[in-house]
Amino acid sequence: MPKLFSSSNKKFLKQINKSEIALNKFICDNWNDLFPKLTFISSEFPLKGNVRSIGTSGRIDILAYNPNSKRFVIFEIKKDYDKNITDQAADYRDYVQDNFSDVYLNATQRYDIALPKFTEIANNQVEIVLLAKKFNINQIERVKKQKENTVTLIKYFWFEEDLIFIDYVNNDPDEEKIESTNTKKVQQIGLIVAQDPDLYEIDRFFHLKPASKDVFIYFYDFLKTKGEVTIEPQQTVMKVRQKETTFSVIGSGGKGPMKKVLQINTNIDVFELKNVAFEDRVRPNQKKKGSLGSERFEVYFKDIDDMKQFIQYVVDKF
């Protein structure tokens, strides 16, 4: 977790929570310093008609314009992690592209923003900037794989004394200033900073077992939707806890009779689990067979499809 030390106060400053409205205002008030290469158009830019896939109205947190790419830029701001942030921003992007002329006229006439001629602005591509405290590993990897490079993720941390720490997960505008010999090191450091401590420890634990990590991340993201999750990586097993429920996680190379890539030990009753291999460690004499972890059942996963079935089983049963 990032920490900020104040030399004047001789202490670590505490992170504080502020509303999305306060964060939006801070960005707008300091726009020229935070985003000097973008033209600010409006905060809470109104959209009318069929905007959201789940509704009929909406407002863009901040609408801006990029003179270099000649594209509109949508800012979507969340106080904390939000699994739907990319979908919401995509709805706004689609609206701007489908109603380009209305957005252009609104920006130039209602907000009196000097923009290039209508025909000089790209009307088939809109840039997106997502700003939140956290992004999950799937959101990060999906954005980094994009070919158009039109989505930027920014993490923020707000501290006492009205100090805010901004971290570009990708598309850092200052990267072009970094000498090429240092680029790889900087990217490695940035990757560590971009992840929360749990994700960094997960990367370290699975290391040379990417298939195991992918399946576990799917499970980890599911648990995060249900509440706070704590992990404790050890040498051969990772302990996972959510409230009173514990799991013991073991990575595998996908070899052996079951071809498993991941094993999760759990006390959740899986006797009725179909199509996913598991074993009850309790023998007829009620003694558990030897295994890593203290939980009763060993569940074996070959791939993400197995994990999806297991999660659906848990949701339906409990």
Helix (H) or strand (E) run with residue 202 in it: helix 197-206
Q: What is the pLDDT of residues 72-102, one digit of tens each?
A: 999 999 988 888 888 888 889 999 998 999 9
CA 218 to chain centre: 13
Q: What is the pLDDT of residues 248-267, one digit of tens each?
A: 999 987 766 678 999 999 99
Confidence at 68, pLDDT banded by 50, 70, 90: very high
CA distances from 137 to 14, 81, 133 (A): 26, 12, 13
pTM (predicted TM-score)? 0.56
| DSSP reduced 3-state for 218 | helix
Q: Would you state the structure tokens that stand for residue 278, as one six-digit string?
A: 């598991």
Domains delineated in the chain: 4-194 (3.40.1350.10), 207-317 (3.90.1150)
pLDDT at 179: 43
Q: What is the pLDDT of residues 207-242, one digit of tens each?
A: 888 899 999 999 999 999 989 899 998 888 999 999
- Distance (Å, rounded) from C-alpha 133 to C-alpha 263? 31
Question: Mutual orientation of helices 137-144 and 85-98 as an angle, nearest 10°?
Answer: 40
Confidence at 131, pLDDT banded by 50, 70, 90: very high
Confidence at 178, pLDDT banded by 50, 70, 90: very low
